[in-house]
Amino acid sequence: YAMKGDLENAQLFWNEALQLNQLNGNLEREGKLLLNYGVLYYDLAEYDKSITMYTRAKTIFENLGDKNSYGITIANLAEVNYKICNYDLSIEYLSKAKLIFNDIGNYVELAEVLLLESKILFSLCEASKLFPILNELNRLSDKKLLPSSYQKKIEMLKALIKLSSNEKDTAIGLLTDILEELSESDERDSNYNYAFISFLLVGLFVEMKSLDKAKKLLSDEKLSDFANNNVFVGIEMDYWTAQIKMKTKINDSFDNIQKALEKLKNITITPLSWRVIFLAGKYFEKRGNYYKAEKYYYLTQAMVMNIKNTLNVENLSSYAKLNNEINLILKEITKFELKSSN
């Protein structure tokens, strides 16, 4: 159920399985069930619950000496902590997971962690941070330690490096080819990669003012279906739709902003939280409603400053992309404050 995006039935199934296991008292099985519960809550965007389930599973696997399951669990903890802006902790978990899978010789799971690390570092850092990951994946592939299907995932990393190096046309070509291949799969991992690449391309096309191409991607049936079944992907869909509407000025964008804000109410702060709220501020500023604009800008400022203050100073300086985005947002808010005070 979970792999097909049927989260309601997945939850019913795991509830029943966990209750049955409590009667049998099988600790290993309980750990596996808690791990699956963590995945389920991640997909439901209930990130705090996801962390709770993963943490309980981690304790069980550590006590059992099950290194493989322990490694998978802390890799999942890296993913969910990244989602809610616990960047330093996420990087720490990734490092631990890599050591474990190297130690036990599970190179497929090692590759999964490396690919997750590449997506995380792509959003935080400059291209130079991605080259060692590509080299390691190529080494594993050359030694025939990975199935041939991993070549597609390695191509995605190459595209991210091209994009980080400002080779946009090459990156777009690679990403478009990968997207076409992913469209044929309905597995959970493929769906998330499909959404990740789609929104990456949408952002690129918006930046390049190719708004028709961006709109075409957002109207894609596969992406729309996934957005309807996944809260967080749905929020990102509304965010980019609102961005395009604001730029074209053909349709009012606040309906999409409002839908995204409503969904974000029950979700722990993520980068998408401050992006949507900042966009709401820009919407009201453009319409001359400085009172509402100030409210949304103040919320954005509080969020990004909180993230900035929780990060290790040395780590923040190495998160060049994140640092630049935060500084740009703060600069725009300061410009608004000066304008509105005159």
pLDDT of residue 176 exceeding 60: yes
Q: Would you state the structure tokens that stand for residue 144, as one six-digit string? A: 């025939």
Interval 286-291 mean pLDDT: 94
Using DSSP, state whether 340 is helix, strand or coil. helix
Burial class from Cβ neighbours inside 10 Å (0-12, 13-18, 19+) for residue 11 reads: middle
Q: How far apart are CA 246 and CA 136, in angstroms?
A: 42
Return the structure tokens found at 106.
């599970």
User: How much helix, strand and coil, in percent to the nearest 5, is found in the chain?
Assistant: 85, 0, 15
**Closest to 139 measured CA to CA, from 114, 103, 165, 162:** 114
The token pair at 339 is 């304008």
Q: For Cα atoms 17, 34, 123, give the angle at the middle one, nearest 5 degrees.
A: 135
| CA angle (29, 34, 36) in 5-degree steps | 95
- 285/336 Cα distance (integer angstroms): 8
Cα 215 versus chain centre, distance: 21
Contact 286, 275 (CB under 8 A): no
Q: What is the dihedral of CA 51, 56, 62, 66, to 10 degrees?
A: -90
Residue % of the chain over a pLDDT of 70: 92
Query: Which sign does the torsion angle of CA 202, 205, 206, 210 carry?
Result: negative
Instruction: Give me the pLDDT at residue 123, please.
Output: 93
pTM of this structure:
0.91
Q: Tokens 């025939």 sit at which residue? A: 144
Query: For position 93, what pLDDT does the model report?
Result: 98
Name the band, by pLDDT with cuts 50, 70 and 90, for residue 1. Answer: very low
- pLDDT value for 223: 97
Cα 283 to Cα 341: distance, rounded to the nearest angstrom: 19
